[in-house]
Amino acid sequence: MRVVLSGGGTGGHIYPAVAVARQCESEDPDAAFLYIGGKRGLESKLVPQEKLPFESIDITGFRRSLSFENVKTIMRFLQGVRTSKALLKKFKPDVVVGTGGYVCGPVVYAASRLGIPTIIHEQNAIPGLTNSFLSRYADTVAVSFEGSESAFPKARNVVYTGNPRATTVRRADRSRGFASLGLPEDSSIVLVVGGSRGAKAINQAMIEMAPQLSSLPGVHFVYVTGESYFDSTVDEIRSRVGPLPDRLHVLPYVHNMPEVLACTSLIVNRAGASFLAEITSLGIPSILIPSPNVTNNHQEANARTLEQAGAAVMILEKNLSGQNLFGSIAHIMNDIGVRENMSAASTGLGKPDSAEAFLQEIRRLAGSR
């Protein structure tokens, strides 16, 4: 089977596509892939590291205000469609998979015009602009949240598969996670992370609560700052506590996130859908701080799904401080009953066979040609 993958901008769009490729490889060692991403997106760095063939197109997203840049975006879209058609004709895929981000627009649209079966994946509870546009052209729309199928009224076929990234994380080696952090396997770990690029507001809360960490004996805190925030965050923490405590581990980025998640007792993070699929596949309790700077405020909708199920505590960014964040962490870590109930609720929301379900749809579409 020959598969074109497209998704970009953030890890939340890229990693599900990679998970699809890995699942396909595990079932069909002869499968061939081409990943089409944006020249400026994170995928241009991450996808080659995954040893997947990569081609790029020049594309940008629409601005929500009136701007001449939107005229340029339309021109880039049309050129992106032409470039995508050429790449698709050369590669001759059996199916094209889009996992979100504006780079998918010209790729999936070009495939639909060429009569190539297409499937798009929506990670969030509220669809993004690109997937809303593509849903009328794609053969299948796959959703991550059960019950969100109605968000695509113009789609030909909508199925609930969950997020393929959940399968990758479910298979992660817990022991390797502890080893990569240099911690014994009986450690309690609170992981604080602001997404693949980091988040300034979460980093500030990390800094503010650093002096309080010693009041939670036996708990190791892993701060993941994002590469651009690392030096300034470490300097700020040192200005407040001096040398970093033994139980505080500050990292710019985690390259083996599935393994680290597998050994995590509690996670503090944004509410991107791929991350939520990962933590629910492992049943990890969470404190969610949804980003207010996303389309349709979809992260808050994602977070409320977990909060209402009892799997998470949500703190809106406007209410975030080091004091209330640490208070929520202490409440959960000091009460094993609370953690166990949250973990059970999180597990109940997970769909760890998501990659298998998604690949089943791919095979169905590929066989329809």
**C-alpha 283: how far from its chain's center?**
16
- 89-107: string of b/e by CB count within 10 Å (b at 16+)? eebebbbbbbbbbbbbbbb
**Environment class of 252 (CB within 10 Å of its CB; exposed 0-12, middle 13-18, buried 19+):** middle
Contacts of 142 (CB under 8 A, 6+ apart): 119, 120, 121, 122, 158, 159, 160, 161, 358, 361
Strand partners, 233: none
| 319 assigned ligand-binding residue | no
Distance CA 339, CA 38 (A): 41
| 118 assigned ligand-binding residue | no
Nearest to 26 by CA among 366, 364, 359: 359
Nearest-5° Cα angle at 246, 245 to 250: 75
Residue 156 phi/psi, 5-degree rounding, is -75, -40
| 196 assigned ligand-binding residue | yes
Nearest to 111 by CA among 126, 128, 129, 91: 91
CB-based contact 39:58 (threshold 8 Å): yes
SS percent in the chain: helix, strand, coil, step 5: 50, 15, 35
| 308 assigned ligand-binding residue | no
Annotated binding site: 10-12, 124, 196, 299
Annotated binding site for UDP-N-acetyl-alpha-D-glucosamine: 10-12, 124, 196, 299
